[in-house]
Structure 1
Amino acid sequence: MAKKLEIEVEVSSPANKFWESIRDSTDLFPKIFPQQYQSIQVIEGDGKSVGSIRALHYAEGIPFVKFAKEKIEVADEANKLVSYSVIDGEILIYYKRFRPTLQVLSKGDGTVVKWSVEYEKLNEEVPDPELIQAMATQTFKELDAYLLKN
C-alpha cells in the first residue's frame, strides 16, 4: 500500500532563484553540499526535462545509501514543480516505489518549498523515510543560506 510523507519549509530566498538552483542541482549540489553529494551525473536527457535520468553518488557518511538513479516524471516550469522516481540504488532495497515531488511557491517576501514522497515499503519492518525527509529539510535550509550569501 502506497503512503505519503509531506513537509513545507519556509525559506527567505526568492522563489525564482530557489527554483533555478533546484533545476541546476546536477552541477550545484556537489559543489555546495560535498558532505552529501559526491557527484550527480546526467545519464539520459538534459537532467531537467521529463524522461531525463540522473545518477547520484552520495558522500561517505550518508547512512543507508551510496547511489541512486532517478528518472524525472514531471517537470512543470510554470508551477515550479518537479517529480521523479528512484529507479535504481539502495533505496529500492527498502521500498518498491519511491517518488519524491518538490514544488517552490512564492509566499509574501519569501518562499515555501513543498516536498513530498510517495512510497511503498517492501515489508512492514521497513521504516517510513523520515531520515530522507529530514535530509531534504536540511538541504533546503542550507541551500537558502547559500543563496542568500551568493
Structure 2
Amino acid sequence: MRYRIIAFVAFVALLLDQGTKALVLQQLPLDAGIPVTSFFSLVHVQNHGAAFGFLNDPGTTWQFWLFTLATLAAIVVVVVMARSAKEHERMLFVAFGAIVGGALGNFIDRVRFRAVVDFLDFYWAGWHWPAFNVADVFICFGAVLLVLHSFCAPNTPKEGSRT
C-alpha cells in the first residue's frame, strides 16, 4: 500500500506540474508576465539553478549534473525510508510522493530545456519572492509534512530498550 500512495501522489504532482508548465510554454513568451493581482503575476522564466534561483547561472552546465544526481539521490532516499516506515504512516507516504513528484517534474524540465520553467511570481511592497512552479510547491509541501510527521509520530521505544 505504501508504494501505491507514493506513486499516486507523485503522479498527481507530476501531472499538475507538467500540465501547468505546458500552458505557460504555450501562452507566455519567455520573460513575459501577466499581472493577476496587486501582489501576484504569472510569468515565464527559466531557472538554471535550484529552488528560488539558487545557483541560477545559464552560462555553466555543471548545475545540470549536480541537480540530476540530487534528484536521483532523493528518490533513492525516499525508497529506502519508505521501506523502513510502518504501513500505517500514511502522512509519511504522502510526503514522499509529493517530494518525488515535484523532483521528477523539475527533472523533466532539466532534461528537456536544461532549465526549469518557473511561472508563479509573488511580490508586495518592494519585496519580491523568486518565481517558482507547481513542482516546487509539492516539494515544499512534502517537506512540511515530513516535519509535521516527525512531531506527530508516536515515540515508540526501540527494541530492547526499557521505558
Q: TM-score range by the shorter chain?
A: under 0.3
TM-score by length of 2: 0.25
Identify, as 1 or 2, the structure richer in strand.
1
Q: Which has the higher contact order (CA 8 A, sep 6+)?
A: 2
TM-score by length of 1: 0.26
Identify, as 1 or 2, the structure richer in helix.
2
